[in-house]
Amino acid sequence: MRPVVLTIAGSDPSAGAGIQADLKAIEACGAYAATVITSITVQNTRGTARAVAVEPEHVREQALAVLTDLSVRAVKSGMLPDAGIANAVASLLEERSGLPYVLDPVLAAGDGFLLQEGGVKQVLLERLLPLATVVTPNAVEARHWTGLEVEDLRGAREAAARLLSLGARAVLIKGGHLQRDRGTDLLLTSQGARTYTGSWIDTPHTHGTGCVYSAAITARLALGDNIVTAVRRGKAFIAAAISSSPGLGRGFGPTNMMAAVD
């Protein structure tokens, strides 16, 4: 029986990012995806026009419907648009602290459209971060959460150490937004640091890559991988997805989340 992964995130109607991308990536990795929607966005490959948050109680009820019926083996959260939703998710996870939990601290869409209110930061740092098996910010998000400059691997390690000190068990700084060492990801745990280097793929079709990467890691954790192996396999998954992008849309197109099973 395939392990169940619960992803908690916003909806992208173009299906390149958010809950739709998570669902496809998790299934492609061999797990079963269950979903909780936190926000309805209006977006496509050219940008994001609007986002409407779901009521926190509705988010909680969606999650409970899954958690009280399916045997969830791992949880991922992506877009948490306001503090009420973030607190609802934190409360649910605090009651199930043994579950592997991947925190993808989504701050903005690729076009810069902000996807969360300022009040989320405190909830993330004080309640969600200490529950995380791994937190997966890109360089921009790492700078936002820590206040540190993150332009290269040295800066990534400093930011990762700051987040580790706040309670995360592992921190993965994704390297796609680094000014130097671009494309190299850094994983920091209490056992030390590892880097994951891949060939830089020069393409505009990177819509939803952070969502897909963190979803693949969550699926691998549910399948029994340790964090080091889960990140390595997640890195390979997102590289294959980017390199075989279907070239859809008139802007920054989605990746091919079925690359690993084609």
Instruction: Report how many domains make up the chain.
Output: 1
In a domain, 135, yes or no: yes
Q: Which of 228, 133, 243 is nearest to 198 (CA)?
A: 243
Q: Name the region of 230 (left: φ>0; alpha: ψ -120 to 50; beta: rest).
A: alpha
Domain CATH for 106: 3.40.1190.20
Residue 168 falls inside a structural domain: no
Residue 193 lies in a domain: no
Angle at 135 between CA 172 and CA 58, to 5 degrees: 150
Q: Is residue 252 part of a domain?
A: no
Question: What is the residue-averaged pLDDT of the chain?
Answer: 92
The pTM (predicted TM-score) of the whole model is 0.95
Give the per-residue pLDDT at 111: 66
- How is the beta sheet containing 170-173 ordered, strand by strand? 47-53, 32-44, 4-11, 72-77, 101-103, 134-135, 170-173, 184-189, 192-197
Q: 203-257, pLDDT tens digit by residue?
A: 888 888 999 999 999 999 999 999 999 999 999 999 999 998 988 999 998 999 8
Kindly list the catalytic residues.
174, 206, 208-211
In a domain, 95, yes or no: yes
- Is 211 inside any structural domain? yes
Report H helices in the chain. 18-28, 56-67, 83-94, 120-123, 139-146, 153-165, 209-222, 227-243
146-167: pLDDT as tens digits: 999 988 888 889 999 999 999 9
pLDDT in tens, 84-97: 999 999 999 999 98
Domain of residue 218: give its range. 4-146+205-243
Does residue 214 form part of some domain? yes
Mean pLDDT for 49-65 is 96
Is residue 196 in a domain?
Answer: no
